[in-house]
Chain A
Amino acid sequence: MGCTGPEGEKMTVIVCRCEDITEEDILAAIEDGYCEIEILKRHLRIGMGPCQGKTCISLLERILKRELGTSSDKIGRPTARPPSRQVSFAILAGDDHE
């Protein structure tokens, strides 16, 4: 699988920009038997970077469904972890204004 350029050459498709994970990496991991989103996340670190999987997890879900020909309940869906956006410790540690 994967994409080809105008001359038929192989092109790299980046799926997770934060952790630099390509479609090829994902296909190789599926080949190695990592077939659930939670497991792929831990194996490849896909979706574990600063954006927390906002775009890549949906793409990963599609690739998994395509490759395994299976439904969503079989491949799982990772728990959304707080915070929804990254926050600096300076803000988190700030004084409470009551």
Chain B
Amino acid sequence: MNEKAGVVIIGGGINGVGIAYNLAKKGYTDVVVLEKDYLGSGASGRNGGGIRQQWSTRENIELAIESTKMFEKLHEELDTEFEFIQGGYLVLAFTDEEITQFKKNVKLQNELGLNSVYISPEEAKEIVPKLNILKVKGATFNGTDGIIYPFPVVYGYARAARKMGVDIREHTTVTDIVTDGKEITAVKTDKGIIETDTVVNAAGGWSTEIAKMAGVELPNRPYRHEIMVTEPFAHFLDPMIISFHHGIYFNQAAHGNIVGGIGNPKEYPGINQRASLWFLRTMAKTLVEFIPNFSAVNMIRQWAGLYDTTPDAQPILGEVPEVDRFFQVNGFSGHGFMVSPVVDKVTAELILGETPSMNIDRLKVTRFEGMDLEKEYSVVG
């Protein structure tokens, strides 16, 4: 006889365990989470830990503002230390086009309740005295942005959800999603069949593959993004520093290490999580250009993870037209962790048929059907 579950969540990353936790908190625990490796083995355990609210689209700004408020309280709720430090994000402009875009971003962010500001290169140097501002043309800053240590958040959710009765299974691979007409009937894994009518696709870089199992085509594609960490040293850098022009981001984590990444514009889509020498050289050259004092610092480790990237760099949430009760929570394009608190709450509400506390209709996959997209401009890494 097959097992049965009310909801099967595919993916044991931040969103998979976060949705399980939110469902359980509402008293719904007939939930199985399936993770093919260990919890947080994908992007949730590989990202730079940035929590940013300075975005260019209304949707991303609103998701991030609400999520940041939730992160401020989440550690108490989960009784876990995440090392959430709100040292701000300093976003540097290097071209005139960027200045125009940044001023537009700040205006929209301010309208939506964020206290971000446009500042001069000299003011940026006041925030980070070691910063080389020779080529900097302007900047924006928001003091409530910050960084977090992602792993304990994933584990904190998982522990709390398990305590309330949610079944979280690691090292269990989904092999098929069985449908009958528009209805889901079961999820097949390498360890057996689970009968269910509700599936959540929170598989990050693997979400397009998962959707295909149910006959659903998603426009997301996985792209490798590389990242590195230095030896820890005395605290000197408060904010996360980013530049879209260079595709770089870096910060000093609570432990004292510099953590940062830089994007390769020539990256091909595909599941590739290996480290490259190109990244190491480019990261080092750019980092030393930004903060010359870094030349004396030792780099100790590099790795990579996947951005699950959509054509407009905004997430895909909610149901799909082809299959009933197949909820998408993917396509985060490199900023899934930072918006997860509100996304997970709203997804739990949608699954239970409640009125969602935030309207996410504009983030459904149907937006890609021949409509003009409002692309998120502020992607980095």
The residues of A with any CB-CB pair to B shorter than 8 Å are 33-34, 36, 38-39, 42-43, 45, 48-50, 52, 76, 79, 81-83, 86-90, 92-93
Residues of B bordering A, CB below 8 Å: 38-41, 45, 151-152, 155, 159, 229-232, 255, 275, 280-281, 283-285, 287-288, 294-303
* Contact A90:B231 (CB < 8 A) given known A42-B151, A50-B300, A82-B302: no
A34–B45 Cα gap in the complex (Å)?
15
Q: Choose one: A39, A45, A87; the contact of B299 (CB below 8 Å).
A: A87
Check A42–B40 contact: CB distance below 8 A. Answer: yes
Does the CB pair A50–B151 fall under 8 Å? Answer: no
Cα distance A52–B230 when bound, in Å? 11
Instruction: Decide yes or no: A88 and B298 within 8 Å by CB, A38-B38, A82-B280, A93-B288 being known contacts.
Output: yes
B231 touches A50 (CB 8 A): yes
Query: Dominant SS at the A interface?
Result: loop
The 3 closest A-B pairs by CB, nearest first: A92-B284, A90-B295, A86-B298
**What total of A-B pairs shows CB separation below 8 Å?**
75
Q: Is the CB of B38 within 8 A of A93?
A: no
Assess the B151–A52 pair: CB atoms within 8 A: no
Shortest distance from the beta carbon of A61 to any chain B beta carbon, whole Å: 16
Contact status A52-B300, CB under 8 Å: yes
| Closest beta carbon of chain A to B239's beta carbon, Å | 20
- Cβ-defined contact, B288 with A90, below 8 A: yes
Minimum CB distance partner of B288 in chain A? A93
A43-B151, A82-B302 in contact; A92/B280 too (CB < 8 A)? yes
Q: Which residue of A lies closest to B155 (CB)?
A: A43
Q: Cα distance A83–B294 when bound, in Å?
A: 17
Q: Which A residue sits closest to B232, measured CB to CB?
A: A49
Give the residue of A33, A42, A52, A93 whose beta carbon is less than 8 angstroms from that of B295: A93
Verify A48–B151 contact, CB threshold 8 A: no
Q: Which residue of the partner chain B has the closest CB to A33?
A: B159
- Point out the residues of chain B lying under 8 angstroms from A88, CB to CB: 295-299
Which B residues touch A87, using CB under 8 A? 298-299
Chain A contacts of B230 at CB under 8 A?
A: 89
